[in-house]
Amino acid sequence: VDRTARSGAGGIVFLLTDYGDADEFAGVVRAVIARDAPGVAVIDLTHGIAPYDVRGGAAALERCAPHLGPGVVLGVVDPGVGGDRRSVALEVPGTLGTGPGRGPRHLVGPDNGLLLWAADWFGGVEAAVALASMDEAAAGSGVVTFDGRDRLAPTAARLAVGAPLADLGETVDPETLVRLADPVVRLSWRRLEAEVSWIDRFGNVQLAAGVPHAETAGLVGPLTIVVEGRSHPARRVLAFGELAPEEIGLLVDANRRLALCRRQGDAAAALGLGPGQTVALSP
């Protein structure tokens, strides 16, 4: 065990992936971080992002962002693995956050937009490097790489024990980083269309819209929700407890986003909704 690293560390690596919990993917990444950065804590944000769902992963990471203390975020949702997309490490100010030590200073992952919504929350990307390609021998051998295990986790471990960003790869212009399209939010007179950005375990449906959108569209009192051409009655409420058992409510959720929900019921199932669909709301 590298005692120097341990004593110098005390850092945290936060993990968010689409690896699931059934296979050993996440476990091996945890083990690699422990091996390369003994004494650094690993915190699993979630490994339950739907396979290849970069938008879902980016939205989840953005929701986590305000609540993280100092550390390194390692995100992996990577449909382009084995293609030519870059892997990157990003530096953010670290001065934003809710704890005394403020938030993360670094994010590591594929350059496909997964990290940028969270990086925006952290104050934007101050510096970025493209990680060196896996060694040429490996690349030439026709062996597929497990990027999370072989490149991203070791990089996060090095950052967690204090390696400077510039040591980890070639500097790239933050403006060249791949950015996801903004979520769909369309406002018109007495009408809000918004993309579903998350359906949680309880069937709550988070929309990519916030309080100002609801106010502008006049969403107060009784509402109509249109999903795939079908209308459903709903009601603007302040809390779950105001809802009758079968009723659909629109409220402002704990991420300050608009959400459709039922009281101890599954609003997504009731509305036939899945992530990425678009919903229209009218008073």
Restricted to residues 31-60, the positions that interact with a second copy (CB under 8 A) are 31-32, 34-36, 38-39, 41-48, 51-52, 60
Considering only residues 56-115, where is the footprint of a second copy by CB under 8 A?
A: 60, 63-64, 67-70, 79-84, 97-101
Residue 26's CB is within 10 A of a number of other CB atoms, namely 20
Contact between 48 and 21 under an 8 Å Cβ cutoff? The reply is: yes
- Residue number, 142 or 229, with CB nearest to a second copy: 142
Q: Total residues at the site for a second copy (CB under 8 A)? A: 76
Helix, coil or strand: residue 23: coil
**Dihedrals φ, ψ of 206, to 5°?**
-85, 135
Helix, coil or strand: residue 269: helix
- The nearest distance, CB 171 to a second copy, in angstroms, is 26
- Residue number, 67 or 190, with CB nearest to a second copy: 67
Q: How many residues does the chain have?
A: 283
Task: List the one residue from 137, 201, 212, 221 that touches a second copy (CB under 8 A).
Answer: 201
Helix, coil or strand: residue 250: strand
By CB under 8 A, residue 218 contacts a second copy: no
Taking every pair of Cα atoms in the chain, the longest distance, rounded to a whole number of angstroms, is 64
- Residue number, 19 or 183, with CB nearest to a second copy: 19
Helix, coil or strand: residue 191: strand
- The nearest distance, CB 207 to a second copy, in angstroms, is 14
- The nearest distance, CB 181 to a second copy, in angstroms, is 19
- Of 4-12, 108-116, 174-182, 269-277, which part binds a second copy (CB under 8 A)? 4-12
78 token code pair: 């990577």
DSSP state of 224: E
